[in-house]
Every structure is written in structure tokens, then in C-alpha cells.
Structure 1
Amino acid sequence: MYSTVYFIHSWWAYLVVLVLIIASVNALIGLFTKRDYNANDFRISLFTLIVSHIQLLIGIVLFFVAPYFQVLLNSGMGEVMGDSTLRLYIVEHPLMMIIAVVLITIGYSKHKKKLTSNPKFKMLAIFYTLGLLFVLSRIPWATWLS
């Protein structure tokens, strides 16, 4: 089960990063060019929200079936925090990804309440770009690119 969930989580991550980059760039372009917010902008932001939430759910399942979780149960948090690889996979990566999804969700929710285009793009640009930065900061690059 672990290898299947790991495979899905790893490949879905490429989609998440791609869609999050597209949504952030789209929001920034819309903000700076002061164009009207349209249905395609809504679809991009909604698709980004959905894709990131699916990735979070897959990640939660992976967290509990991964061998790293058994290390946490058997050795305790002291050993996890002393090992940089374990700390990345058990603490840093999950926490930062949860924060990123929360930021994306907040940005999506706040942008829906705005009535004009510029504030909509501003909310999306701020929160989606912050979410993207959080995601990029804690991707296990050594594993991900190999």
C-alpha cells in the first residue's frame, strides 16, 4: 500500500506545483494589468484549490502508512528531531504543506467575497503565491528530482 500511495503522492505533486504556478502567475498578471476577472480565472483558482486539497488527503494517508511513521512511534520525537531526513519527512514537510493548503484555501475564500476584479486578483496573488513559496520550500528536492 505504501508504494502505491507514495507513487500517487509523488506524481500528483508535479500537477500541484504546475497548477499552483499557473494560478499564481495568472493572479499576478491579472493584478498588474488590471484586467477583468473572468470565468477562466475562476476555473484556474478553483482547480488549484481542488488539486491541492486532493494532494493533502493523499499526503495524510501516506504519512500514516510510511515507514517514517513507524520510526516516530518506536523511537519518539527526540530521535526524529535529531535526524534531518526524518525531521523533513515527519515534521517540516507535512507542516509546511498543511500551511500552504490553508493559505490557498484562505485566498480562494477571500477572493470570492470581493466584488471587483482587482481585489479578487490581489487576494489570489497574495495567498496563492505564499502557498507556492511554502510548497517549494519543503519539497524533498533530492528525492523528488531523482
Structure 2
Amino acid sequence: MYETIQFIHSYWAYLVLLILLIAAFNAIIGYAADREYGAMNFRIALFTLIVSHIQLLIGIALYFTSPYFKAWSTEGVGGVMGDSVLRLYNVEHPLMMIIAVTLITIGYSKHKKKLTSRPKFKILAIFYGFALVVVLTRIPWNAWF
């Protein structure tokens, strides 16, 4: 079961990263170029929200089925925090990804309340941009290549 969830989580991550890149740059360009916010921009923002939440759910399932999770009981908190690999997979990656999904959710929710295009793009650019930075800092790159 763990291998299947890990496979899905790993490949869904490519989709999440791609759509988050597209959404962040779309918002930045829309804000900088003072474009009109339209249906396609809304769909990009919504799709980013959906795929990131699906990834979070897959990640939660993976976390609790992972052999790394068992280290909490075998190694204890000190052992997990003392080992950089265990700390990455048990603390840093999950926490930062939850923060990234939270930023995406807040950005999506706040942008819907704005009435004109420029503030919509600005909110999305800020929150989706920060979420992208957070994701890029805590991806276990050695596992990706």
C-alpha cells in the first residue's frame, strides 16, 4: 500500500508544481500588465487550489503509512530531529507543504472578495508566489531525480 501511495504522491507532485508555477506567473504577469481578470484566470486559480488539496490528502495518507513515520516510536523525538533525513520526511516536508496549501487556500479565498482585476491578481501573486517558494524549498530533490 505504501508503494502505491508514494507513487501517486510523487507523480501528482509534478502536476501540482506545474500548475502552481503557471498560476503564480499568470498572477504576476496579470498584475504587472494590468490585464483584465477573466474566467480562464479563475479556472487556473481554482485548479491550483484543487490539485494542491488532493496532494495534501495523498500526502497525509502517505505520511501515516510511511516507514519514516515509524521512526517516531523507534527513535523518539530526539532521534528524528537529530537525523536530517528523518527530520525532512517527518517534520520539515509535511509542515512546509501544509503551510503552502494554507497559503494557496487563503490566497484563493481572499482574491474572490476583491471586485476589480488588479487586486485579484495582486492577492494571487503574493499568496501563490509565497506558496511556490515554500514548496520549492522543501521538495526532497534527491528523491525526484
- Using the size of structure 2 for normalisation, the TM-score is 0.99
Equivalent position of 1:59 in the other structure: 59
Q: Distance between the aligned counterparts of 1:77 and 1:140, measured in 2? A: 21
Tell me how far 1:75 sits from its aligned partner.
Answer: 1.8
Equivalent position of 2:102 in the other structure: 102
Q: What amino acid sits opposite 2:96 in the alignment?
A: M
Equivalent position of 1:27 in the other structure: 27
Alignment pair present for 1:90 and 2:90: yes
Q: Distance between the aligned counterparts of 1:15 and 1:91, measured in 2? A: 23
| 97-106 or 68-77, which deviates more | 68-77
| 1:1-146 aligned within 5 A | 1-145=1-145
Identity across the alignment (%): 69
Tell me how far 1:72 sits from its aligned partner.
Answer: 1.1
List 4+ stretches of structure 1 deviating above 6 A. Answer: none
Q: What amino acid sits opposite 1:9 in the alignment?
A: H
1:65-117: CA deviations, max 9, x gaps?
Answer: 00001111222111000000000000000000000000000000000000000
Gaps of 5+ in 2: none
| Aligned CA-pair RMSD | 0.4
Tell me how far 1:37 sits from its aligned partner.
Answer: 0.1
Q: Distance between the aligned counterparts of 1:144 and 1:97, measured in 2? A: 16
1:45-72: CA deviations, max 9, x gaps?
Answer: 0000000000000000000000001111
SS in 1 for 2:139: coil
Tell me how far 1:144 sits from its aligned partner.
Answer: 1.1
How many pairs does the alignment contain?
Answer: 145
